[in-house]
Structure 1
Amino acid sequence: MSLPVNLNRPFDPRLFLTDQELDRSAGLLISGASVLAKAAESARKKAGLSKPELQILMAARYRPGLTVSEMRGTLGMTVPTFARIIGKLDERGLIERARETGDARRRKLNLSDAGVTLTTPIAIEVRERLRLAFRASGPEAVAGARFLLEALVK
């Protein structure tokens, strides 16, 4: 979904964002990501996962079907590091690599049943932290936050 751009619309001062407001928002997004990571930290340690392993597993949980190269690019990992970690996760039976129908050389990554079981406590921790923040914000703010985040990651 891309945002519609209408450069001919009248100026709305409510939509004007100063550098100070944008900097505060960036800081809040970074702090929010840190809070969610901390919420998952205890469950990550109990699961015996490294932080990069957790990144890959949660990416596969929340965005199933990404190809190996798409996921590697999304996470910003080097090819050797990503390949090594994927190999370890595959050995532990936590991920599945399925051939893409259009191009058999490309593999899509998904969690195995064991991967879903292992990541569920982590997802619950993150979900509960988000639930508290969303309840405090209200439905309009939640809808706005989702719209903002979807626009940001596209």
Structure 2
Amino acid sequence: MADRNAANLMGRGESLLFLTDDQLRRGIEAMFFAYRGFTADPDRILQDYGYGRAHHRAIHFINRSPGTTVNNLLSILGVTKQSLNRVLRTLVEDGLVDSRVGTRDKRERHLFLTQKGADLERALSEAQRNRMRDAFRNAGPDAVAGFRAVLEQMMDPDMRRHYQEGGDGTR
């Protein structure tokens, strides 16, 4: 069915430039339902720890850029300092994140996952990788490329640059 849908979309490529409000609404709903599925497996794992999605996002980006600073994480996540501090305090107290004082600037705190944190991150990511792998395999390579292109175009320019740089802003 995915192949038929992809063929239908490719045959109507030009008409996709002029989507109706109903087609756009369906796309928005698809994003909501896909996100619900994408987060369902990690949510079940996080529930055992008493954590939420904010904890998951922090763990993900600390794993992505070991040694990232609290300020960098604030920028990536787009949350308040108070909100992030609450999340980080819990992760540090529970032994999942190690917060180290900067060597050049003592005011900076650099964040690293502990082995326990890395194990949790691996479980959370594996659940999402499995879902994405199945979806990508079923949709096909053209759909995957199109999906990534659409997602990148939906990102704010600063976040797109950050994403394209690899996540830590240093490449």
Q: TM-score scaled by structure 2?
A: 0.67
1:60–1:109 Cα contact (<8 Å) kept: yes
Q: CA 1:61–1:22 in 2, change beyond 3 Å: closer, same or farther?
A: farther
- Residue identity in the other structure for 2:23: E
SS in 2 for 1:96: strand
- Residue identity in the other structure for 2:87: I
* Structure 2 segments unaligned to the other structure (5+ residues): 1-13, 161-171
User: For 1:64 and 1:18, how far apart are their aligned partners in 2?
Assistant: 44
* Structure 1 segments unaligned to the other structure (5+ residues): 1-11
1:39–1:129 Cα contact (<8 Å) kept: no
Residue 147 (structure 1) aligned with residue 146 (structure 2) = no
Q: How many residues align?
A: 142
Residues 35-86 of structure 1, C-alpha deviations (whole Å, 9 max, x = no match) = 111122222223x141032232133334655532343344343322221221
Higher helix share: 2
User: For 2:110 and 2:146, how far apart are their aligned partners in 1?
Assistant: 31
- Give 2:80's aligned residue: 78
- Give 1:6's aligned residue: none
- Give 1:50's aligned residue: 51
Say what the alpha-carbon RMSD is for the aligned residues: 2.7
1:40–1:122 Cα contact (<8 Å) kept: yes
SS in 1 for 2:111: strand
Cα deviation, residue 123, structure 1: 1.2
Residues 103-144 of structure 1, C-alpha deviations (whole Å, 9 max, x = no match) = 653444342332111221121111111111111100111111
User: For 1:100 and 1:13, how far apart are their aligned partners in 2?
Assistant: 54
Q: CA 1:101–1:24 in 2, change beyond 3 Å: closer, same or farther?
A: farther
